[in-house]
């Protein structure tokens, strides 16, 4: 289910909402894995990064100018955070009165920010909007009584997408706000057989990507809406045993849709025992499985830049070890990002959530035994 944590017994996959994942960044592998890859694919010597610690907990998105949003601790409070650049300390974006927790999920070129807030016992979740990093958060309009909601992304024009859901996961619907003051619009569903949906990403052209799932959240398909009023298209699966597709394998909030209409996500088989990161050149193109190597055969792609760089994560065969990955292009072999940072950094990079056109990457990992957010900056002369 998307509204709560859903753990499959075989295999041990955590299928999370973006909401809980961005706030807590929970994965089975993240707390278990403190070891290096055994047979990790080796990077080209031209691909190297400086890794910068953003503090605990997660960095969800990075803009083209290098502004970063996510969530971190300010004293004992865990709030939405804004970093003006990779060298700046985090700025507390606050939360709603009476609420304890918040997280920022995206920022647009106008420095408008979206995210969500939780109350103390997690019984209420509301979508948030910040007019600027210096503004107090406001609740986006239109959450129905009895439902919870979040805002996942905002495009350059101020259009916002997200979803509403019930606490028992009996209801989940993708929604679109034309702007921060407008009433939300429910996006058309894939079919009656796939009643649950979410909207994760909206690009500059108003194209939207999300998913549609059956009543039990077992069968899901990535959905593409050409606009907020368009009938959605289910993107093709890779075929073979990988018959279902989805986005956000380990819960990150990335940009799975770029401004050229190219998309990424993951495919999975009927018993959830294997997953593969995938790429679509368009809404009518077949899914292409992105290659990895060594023990990291499973995984998911979380973001694609306009330049075509793809980032995400890859797991080993039993989903006990998770590493952040980059695919320099859709035809490149995946590269473990742990192999392209200084070997003595103290980091285990576990999840890459976003990448901008400068090749800067945000995500989370473990630094000297503790969960931290990071930004990777390509070194001078890197092939990025």
pLDDT in tens, 178-222: 999 999 999 999 999 999 999 999 999 999 999 999 999 999 999
Q: What global pTM score does this model have?
A: 0.89
Beta bridge partners of 213: 196, 220
Q: Which residue, among 75, 76, 72, has the nearest Cα to 102 in the 3D structure?
A: 72
% of the chain exceeding 90 in pLDDT: 82
Strands across the sheet containing 148-154: 148-154, 160-165, 172-177, 185-186
Cα(23)–Cα(169) distance, integer angstroms: 19
Task: Give just the sign of the alpha carbon dihedral 194, 200, 203, 206.
Answer: positive
Asked if residues 242 and 284 have their Cβ atoms less than 8 Å apart, the reply is no
Q: Taking residues 34-50, what's their average pLDDT?
A: 53
Confidence of residue 57 (pLDDT cuts 50, 70, 90): confident
The Cα–Cα gap between 146 and 138 comes to 19
**Tokens in use for 377?**
């900056």
Question: Tokens at residue 159, please?
Answer: 């259009």
DSSP per-residue string spanning 73-124: EETTEEEEEEESSTTSPPEEEE--TT--EEEEEEE-TT--EEEEEE-TTSS-
Q: Which of 66, 50, 21 lies closest to 364, judged by CA? A: 21
SS3 at position 331 = coil
Report, as an integer, the average pLDDT of 59-83.
96
Nearest residue to 315 via CA among 342, 294, 341, 345: 294
How many CB atoms are located within 10 Å of the residue 111 CB? 18
Q: Give the number of other Cβ atoms within 10 Å of residue 18's Cβ.
A: 25
Bridge partners (DSSP) listed for residue 104: 115
Q: Going by DSSP bridges, is the β-strand pair 185-186/196-202 parallel, antiparallel, or unpaired?
A: unpaired
All domains of the chain in start order, with CATH: 6-378 (2.130.10.150)
Confidence of residue 382 (pLDDT cuts 50, 70, 90): low
């Amino acid at each position: 289910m998307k509204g709560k944590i859903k753990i499959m017994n075989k295999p041990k996959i955590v299928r999370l909402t973006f909401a809980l994942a961005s706030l807590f960044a929970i994965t089975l592998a993240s707390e278990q894995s403190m070891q290096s890859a055994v047979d990790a694919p080796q990077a080209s010597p031209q691909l190297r990064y400086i890794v910068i610690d953003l503090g605990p907990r997660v960095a969800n998105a990075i803009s083209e100018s290098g502004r970063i949003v996510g969530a971190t601790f300010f004293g004992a409070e865990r709030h939405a955070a804004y970093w003006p650049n990779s060298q700046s300390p985090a700025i507390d974006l606050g939360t709603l009165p009476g609420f304890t927790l918040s997280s920022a999920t995206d920022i647009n070129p106008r420095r408008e920010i979206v995210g969500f807030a939780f109350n103390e016992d997690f019984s209420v979740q509301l979508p948030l909007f910040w007019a600027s990093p210096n503004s107090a958060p406001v609740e986006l309009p239109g959450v129905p009584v009895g439902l919870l909601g979040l805002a996942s992304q905002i495009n350059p024009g101020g259009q916002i997408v997200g979803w509403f859901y019930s606490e028992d996961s009996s209801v989940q619907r993708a929604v679109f706000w034309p702007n921060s003051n407008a009433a939300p619009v429910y996006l058309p569903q894939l079919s009656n057989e796939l009643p649950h949906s979410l909207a994760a990403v909206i690009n500059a052209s108003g194209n939207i990507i999300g998913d549609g799932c059956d009543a039990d959240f077992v069968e899901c398909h990535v959905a593409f809406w050409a606009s907020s009023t368009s009938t959605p298209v289910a993107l093709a699966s890779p075929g073979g045993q990988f018959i279902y597709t989805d986005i956000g394998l380990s819960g990150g909030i990335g940009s799975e849709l770029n401004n050229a209409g190219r998309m990424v996500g993951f495919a999975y088989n009927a018993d959830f025992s294997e997953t593969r990161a995938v790429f679509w050149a368009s809404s009518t193109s077949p899914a292409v499985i992105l290659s990895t190597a060594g023990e990291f055969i499973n995984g998911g792609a979380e973001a694609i830049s306009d330049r075509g760089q793809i980032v995400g994560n890859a797991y080993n065969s039993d989903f006990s070890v998770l590493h952040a990955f980059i695919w320099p292009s859709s035809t490149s072999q995946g590269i473990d990002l742990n192999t392209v940072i200084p070997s003595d950094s103290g980091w285990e990079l576990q999840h890459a959530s976003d990448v901008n056109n400068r090749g800067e990457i945000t995500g989370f990992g473990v630094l000297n035994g503790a969960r931290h957010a990071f930004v990777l900056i390509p070194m001078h002369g890197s092939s990025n």
